[in-house]
Amino acid sequence: MKIFLNLLAGTTGGQITRAKAFLNRIINNTAGVHLVVIKDPRVLKEYKSSALVTIIDVPIGNGKLKVIKRFWWETVHMPSLVSESKADIFLTFSHFLPSRKFNIPTFVGVSNLAPFSAMALAEESVSARRKFQLLGKTILSSVKRATAVMALSHTAEKVLTEHGVAPEKIVVIPIGVDQFWSAPVETATILQELGISTPFYLYVSHFYRYKNHLRLIEAYAQLPPAILAEKKLVLVGKFENVGYFEEIKQLIASKKMEKNVMLFPGQDMAILRGLYQSTELFIFPSLVENCPNILLEAMAAGAPIATNNIAPMTEYCEEAAVYFDGMSAADMARAILELYANPDSTDSMRALSKQRAANYSWDIFVNTVIAEARKIISSSQKESI
């Protein structure tokens, strides 16, 4: 089976994590599968063409027109490349399918649910909401034309069916999490290098508005002075939305909490693992998610979890978390105080996190994607007879 895999939109975050998991397992374990991969040359540089994988770098570039350039290339040039590849199926994890019809079946994954979340959209500017609305239309157009649709959570499945996608086209394939995060590590040196000298609460996520950092800071500021003196709030992520990041810094300054809240740009996996394993509480207030890779990483590392009481956080965590209303700073503070008042529960929460994360395997994810791809090809061949 030959799969044409479009990874062109995968340049950061969970999409890179998923791409690496998929490529590694095809290269090392999966017999009878050949991949033709298109990707951005700036990422996934360690992957080269081999007997099982053909790598094609497509230099789209950066800047404000990046998305438009990628859309144009995928619409104008990619269909011909798919035809020339003689692939059996087209696969993408990034929800875009060109309007020009392929002569092979298509398996389209949905990675972004933000356009379908009223709660997340309410946080955005008018121009940002319009962009999300356009993205939502693009996603729905793509998945409705696809042969089959991959939902990374039951939450995504529900959203898609509510927006008119045929349920029989959708297959739910949850993401996995690497065992790397659970491997014990000496954290003292990592914390020392970062300048973290006291116990801390942690949130790891790139700085986008729907990630809800502002309410988390408001909640932290409502904690009693004794707790603020004892516990830092550590925020880690790429400063993707510069305007939003400036608002965060202004809020911290207005609360006179520059010494309490620590901001770090995106860190490598080894440092993140140390932070996950040593935090007293991992707080995840995001207003919308499809497949929260970061949340699963923290759980696999054994971090106690407090998270927004919405799906898919409830789907992924179940009983292994304390929940709060993500739209209420006061309720977020309530959850933090509840755990602070019950320090004996920390060990049991760490164990619950690890137990729950153990249910999510990249091996299962990749094997299921391959199995579903074979089914889609077989079904399409029968229909063409």
pLDDT tens figures, 78-136: 999 999 999 999 999 988 999 888 899 999 999 899 999 999 999 998 999 999 999 99
Q: What is the pLDDT of residue 192?
A: 95
Structural domain that includes position 11:
2-176+361-384
Please indicate whether residue 68 or residue 121 has the higher confidence score (pLDDT): 121
Q: State whether 97 and 235 are in the same domain.
A: no
User: Which two tokens mark 303?
Assistant: 């971090």
For residues 142 and 137, what is the distance between their CA atoms, to the nearest angstrom? 9
Task: Reply yes or no on whether the pLDDT at 30 is more than 80.
Answer: no
Are 39 and 105 in the same domain?
Answer: yes
Of the listed ranges 125-134, 213-222, 355-364, the one predicted with least confidence = 125-134
- One domain, residues 340 and 368: no
Whether residue 59 sits in one domain with residue 159: yes
* Overall domain count for the chain: 2
One domain, residues 243 and 145: no
- Is a pLDDT exceeding 90 seen at residue 245? yes
Q: What pLDDT is stored for residue 68 in this prediction?
A: 86
Whether residue 194 is found in the same domain as residue 328: yes
Q: How confident is the model at residue 381 (pLDDT cuts 50, 70, 90)?
A: confident
Please check whether residues 253 and 196 belong to one and the same domain: yes
Are the CB atoms for 305 and 349 separated by under 8 Å? yes
CATH number at residue 157: 3.40.50.2000
